[in-house]
Amino acid sequence: MKKSSPTFILSYCVFLIVVGITGCSEKSAEETRPPLKSPAYLEEATPEPVVVSEKTRETYQWYCAQCHGIQGKGDGINAKFLTVPPRNHTKAKYLETRTDKQFFEAIKFGGLSVGRAPCMPAWGNTMSDSTIHELVRYIRELCQCEAL
């Protein structure tokens, strides 16, 4: 590796401080939006309608409810310890403004990937894409809303 100049190191430190200072449990500034990649699997339209299985409902209870709450109201047991509250999955007014693709990416790659808070973890290694598609449907069920 090339030897880095002091100014580079300095600006890197400033970057780390600025970006690193705001976490999930401390007051955080507005999130910066990382560049969105648009992977191939998202371009392929899912032909069959996604049906939310019983197993996926249990998956939501097992993994998601600890933050989003048993009924998806954003009041899980971790909620009051996070600076950015977990999204209320029953609030149509906001959720209509988000696309299914944004939901999918938030769940698979975490909140940061769609310009939302990093307190929302990435679940892409924990569950399959088809489960995540079902979770997106389940959230649409909870909010009784579709993307506008």
Binding residues for ligand HEC, per CB under 6 A?
63-64, 66-68, 78, 82, 84, 86-87, 98, 102-103, 106-107, 111, 114, 116-117, 119-121, 123, 135, 139
Q: Rg (Cα) of the chain, in Å, rounded?
A: 18
Residues 6+ positions from 50 with CB-CB distance below 8 Å? 133, 134, 136, 137
Tokens for 58?
């249990």
Check residue 143 for interaction with other proteins (CB under 8 A).
Answer: no
Give the nearest distance from C-beta 34 to ligand HEC in angstroms: 13
Instruction: Specify the residue, 69 or 145, whose C-beta has the smaller distance to other proteins.
Output: 69
Check residue 19 for interaction with other proteins (CB under 8 A).
Answer: yes
Query: Could you give the CA distance from residue 6 to residue 139 in angstroms, rounded to a whole number?
Result: 49
Instruction: Specify the residue, 23 or 46, whose C-beta has the smaller distance to other proteins.
Output: 23
User: Is residue 59 within 8 Å of 127, Cβ to Cβ?
Assistant: yes
User: Is residue 87 within 8 Å of 31, Cβ to Cβ?
Assistant: no
Element (H or E) spanning 105, and its range?
A: helix 100-109
Check residue 48 for interaction with other proteins (CB under 8 A).
Answer: no
Instruction: Specify the residue, 13 or 142, whose C-beta has the smaller distance to ligand HEC.
Output: 142
Tokens for 34?
């990382």
Give the nearest distance from C-beta 122 to other proteins in angstroms: 7
Binding site for other proteins (CB under 8 A): 13, 16-17, 19-20, 23-26, 61-63, 65-67, 69-70, 76-78, 81-82, 110-112, 118-123, 125-126
